Amino acid sequence: MSRPREFACLYLGLGFLGIECLLWLPAAAVLALLLPRAFGQRVGRRVICFGFDLYLRWLAWLGACRFDVSALDRLRDAGPMVIAPNHPCLLDAVMVLSRLPRMVCIMKASLMNNPLLGAAARLAGYIRNEPTLTMVMAAVGELGRGSQLLLFPEGTRSVCEPINPCLPSAAIIAGRARVPVQVVLIETDSAYLSKGWPLFRRPRMPITYRVRLGRRFEPIDDHEAMTRRIEDYLAAEVGASSLRPPPAPASRR
């Protein structure tokens, strides 16, 4: 793809997402006041699912990206579980949420107050990642009500090879809620929107993204042992993937 077309795809893609957020922002804020909480959460999550799916379709239509996320459809009716992907870039949550309309997401507290994202996240009943005990109890409650929970075990985007050390949150929440942890593997051939990648830096396009289902771990009481198993499995699968981004740019080293 030529450089001018790559720049056009970059700005048209970001602009489309910004317009979606701006259009939904006032509606989400009003609905959060008017609708009963449980009904509002269902509406909010389905709108996010639809909007992110539309965004991915737009990027594919532009020719900016190729997405293979259909494996996630097998989880729609799988019941409550912690869905635990690796985290190579900012589009990871978008890909997962675009296919699973009953998903509740654990978000950074700062994003919950973001002018573009906060109202939609609050309507959908997304969970702040701090304080930790409140986060865990809220997540367990959502799982008990039949929701699926999106939680990145690394805690942030990957900066280590093949993944960052995993935090125990997924194992603790799964153990308390007595639900499994479903590992999801996100593979890409680009470092676009990885940790340290400036939002408006042009990547080489088209970018390929592939999502596949990994192992499902049943809950155990020893959350440290379960965390090690999840980390070892994720590291092995990501390290063996045939779809890997190039080495990090010098500005990220």
**Predicted local distance difference test score (pLDDT) of residue 109:** 85
**Predicted local distance difference test score (pLDDT) of residue 244:** 85
Spatial contact of 217 and 227, defined as CB atoms under 8 Å apart = no
**Predicted local distance difference test score (pLDDT) of residue 159:** 93
User: ∠242-246-251 over CA atoms, to 5°?
Assistant: 155
**Predicted local distance difference test score (pLDDT) of residue 236:** 97
* Structural domain for 172, as ranges: 3-252
Nearest of 122, 229, 214, 127 to residue 175 by alpha carbon: 229
| Residue segments in the chain with a per-residue pLDDT below the cut of 50 | 250-253
**Predicted local distance difference test score (pLDDT) of residue 253:** 40
**Predicted local distance difference test score (pLDDT) of residue 226:** 97
**Predicted local distance difference test score (pLDDT) of residue 245:** 82
**Predicted local distance difference test score (pLDDT) of residue 116:** 86
Overall domain count for the chain:
1
Q: Which amino acid, 175?
A: G
Provide the sign of the torsion angle of the four alpha carbons 238, 98, 68, 248, taken in this order.
negative
Nearest of 64, 49, 48 to residue 15 by alpha carbon: 64
Model's pTM, two decimal places?
0.93
Nearest of 136, 111, 141, 135 to residue 41 by alpha carbon: 141
The residues pairing with 128 across neighbouring beta strands, listed in sequence order, are 107
202 vs 146: CA distance, rounded Å? 40
